[in-house]
Amino acid sequence: MATNLHNLSEYDIQSVPNAKGMRFGIVVSEWNHNITGALLEGAQQTLLKHGVEENDLIIMTVPGSFELVFGAAQMAKSGKVDGVIAIGCVIRGDTPHFDYICEGATQGLAELNTTGDVPVIYGLLTCNNLQQAQDRAGGILGNKGDECAITAIKMVDFKKKLI
């Protein structure tokens, strides 16, 4: 479903497993901090709302969205988290730089999911303009950070059911 047809912060609370005892890492891009900070706040508050303890959250920053891959990989390898949320925001500019960053970060995060043992949640906004980013970072379309937190809880629960 297209984001513009669905509020990112709306979900069936009954479908979310209890997250008590789950440990999460959140790696956040410093670039476009006005957006990524709002996404982080949404993710953090949603995790806490569903039972994650404050001391079971590790939050670290990286300079930009391309570096999310390294940050998420290191967090996953640390053994300190059950799931990782990668949060970033890339806004299209006048050069093809946008395409390279979005493609590299997307492929890198996808590879972490196929080769690793810790679910890595894709929280990278790839927007054509600032308004689209604001709409998805607590604006009229809700907060992608909320959606990422719910996805992270569900994926950690998914893995625990297989063990």
Q: Domain containing 157 — which CATH number?
A: 3.40.50.960
Classify residue 8: in a domain, yes or no. Answer: no
Q: What is the pLDDT of residue 14?
A: 77
Q: Do 84 and 121 meet the contact criterion of CB atoms below 8 Å apart?
A: yes
Distances (CA, A) of 65 to 18, 124, 152: 30, 8, 19
b or e along 3-27 (b: 16 or more beta carbons within 10 Å of the residue's beta carbon)? eeeeebbebeeeebbebeebbbbbb
What is the reported pLDDT for 1? 47
118-132 pLDDT tens trace: 999 999 999 999 999
Total-model pTM: 0.94
Per-residue model confidence as pLDDT tens digits over 29-73: 999 999 999 999 999 999 999 999 999 999 999 999 999 999 999
CA-angle at 11, arms to 25 and 32, nearest 5°:
45
Task: Choose the catalytic residue: 6, 33, 50, 97.
Answer: 97
Position with higher pLDDT, 143 vs 4: 143
Q: Is 50 a catalytic residue?
A: no
Q: Is residue 59 part of a domain?
A: yes
Nearest CA-CA partner of 125 in 84, 96, 87, 69: 87
Q: Any idea what DSSP says for residue 36?
A: H
The whole domain housing 42 covers: 22-162
User: Do 147 and 85 touch, CB atoms closer than 8 A?
Assistant: no
Please write the tens of the pLDDT for every residue from 62-107: 999 999 999 999 999 999 999 999 999 999 988 889 999 999 999 9
| Domain presence at residue 6 | no
- Give a yes or no: residue 10 inside a domain: no
Instruction: Answer whether residue 11 is part of any domain.
Output: no
Q: Residue 9 domain-assigned?
A: no
State how many domains the chain has.
Answer: 1
